[in-house]
Amino acid sequence: MLDLRFLGRWAALLAASGLLAYGLHRGHFPAALLLGPMVAAIAFGVGGANLSVPKLGFQAAQAMIGCLVAHTVTGEIVATVVDDGVLILAVVLVTVMVGGAVGWILTRLRILPGTTAAWGSSPGGAAAMVAMSEEYGADPRLVAFMQYVRVVAVVLSASVMARLLTDVSGPGPAPSAPTAVTGAPLAVLATLAVAASGASLAKLLRLPAFALTGPMLLGAALHASGLVSMALPMPILDLAYATIGWYVGLRFRRETLRETFSALPGILVATLGVIALCGGWAYGLTFLLPIDFLTAYLATSPGGLDSVAIIAVGSKVDVSFVLAVQTLRLFVVLVTGPVLAKWIARGAPAGP
């Protein structure tokens, strides 16, 4: 039997999400359909609504975003990686080192234990960082709190930056989310098949964030080669954006806030510090590469690949460069995470 109160809470969350998304859309914010549900979900999660998005639903949403990203990939993204491979790798390594430095500082100041600070400060792959952290002796609650505070802060700051740096003075409103990839029903079915097979193959190969990276990599290869024509109706994308926003927002709990209250100032300073340092590095990139600041800012943003992809595709930026950097960094973070955590923990002060 369905719980009417449970349905009522979901109905209230849907209504609040819709109102916030509409307001953000009217304000010409990119990714309004991600931001609105996420902000509403944070309020409901902290308020004790006891709602959650099933993991399978979140993975399905990631797969749809992976297909959307794949549609934007052409031979240009390959050329970008080939032409600017050294600088892209440098961008990735600097961002990873910034996260490591912040984790080390949190440890030296005794704000957080070494392994927890290391995993919580890792710039990217929030869900994977939380899942891996417990295996290496970190407190997954604090890691989750640090990771998702940073994801929210990055999404909000990136959206504000995109709003300020994107010209909306032309005719017609700026899109609040990536434009739907329309096409024939067969193309839609082919895209869904790519999503399912890509995620399954990536999971089999144990790729990080398999639900996102599998469809993205497989779809990009098939689309760029002209073997598959991809299409995604807007309602599917709308639901995917909202699902990711709800998944992130509903993970915030009042209990988590109480448990981490003493570390909250340090976590907030660390989060803003990582964003500021990456923003400074982004500004420096504009002198090294022929890219605009918004492209560099999104490329170096230490947030989730799926969230940044939504904002990038909905903004006037070099999507190929942004996704090349973000994807490479995801893999680098997951490979270097254990090593970095051990190094930071080794340098932690002994005793209370």
Angle at which helix 114-121 crosses helix 126-133, to 10 degrees, equals 160
Mind listing the pLDDT tens digit for each residue in 132-162?
666 667 776 677 778 777 878 888 888 888 8
Tally of domains within the chain: 1
Q: CA-to-CA distance for 334 and 125, rounded, in angstroms?
A: 8
Judge contact between 119 and 134, C-beta under 8 A: no
Q: What is the pLDDT of residues 89-135, one digit of tens each?
A: 888 888 888 878 877 887 777 777 767 777 777 776 666 676 566 66
- Does the pLDDT at position 336 exceed 60? yes
d(CA 301, CA 169): 26
Given this model, what pLDDT does residue 89 score? 84
Show the domain range for 246: 33-166+177-346
Predicted pLDDT of residue 172: 40
Model confidence at 199, pLDDT cuts 50, 70, 90, reads: very high
**SS3 (DSSP) at 181:** strand
With a pLDDT cut of 90, the percent of the chain lying above it is 12
Q: What DSSP character marks residue 74?
A: -
331 in a structural domain: yes
pLDDT of residue 349: 57
* Average confidence (pLDDT) over 19-31: 82
Q: What is the DSSP letter of 261?
A: T
> Is residue 119 situated within a structural domain?
yes
Q: Decide if 352 is inside a domain.
A: no
Residue 314 CA neighbour count, 13 Å, CB half: 33
In a domain, 6, yes or no: no
- Which parts of 205-263 fold into alpha helices (H)? 210-224, 234-249, 254-259
Q: Tell whether 9 is covered by a domain.
A: no
Mean pLDDT of the chain: 79
273 falls within a domain:
yes
Band the pLDDT of 196: cuts 50, 70, 90.
very high
Selected residue with higher pLDDT from 335 and 90? 90
Residues 176/32, Cβ–Cβ less than 8 Å: yes
pLDDT for position 174: 38
In a domain, 15, yes or no: no
Assigned token pair, 194: 């790519």
**Which among 178, 201, 181 has a CA at the least distance from the CA of 191?**
181
Q: For 204-241, write each residue's pLDDT tens digit.
A: 998 767 888 889 889 888 887 778 888 888 888 889 88
Quote the pLDDT of residue 72: 67
The answer to the question of residue 172 being in a domain is no
Taking alpha carbons only, the member of 2, 36, 41 closest to residue 19 is 36
Which CATH number goes with the domain that contains 145?
1.20.1530
Residue among 8, 52, 34 at smallest CA distance from 251: 52
Residue at 61: amino acid letter = A
Q: Tell me the pTM.
A: 0.68
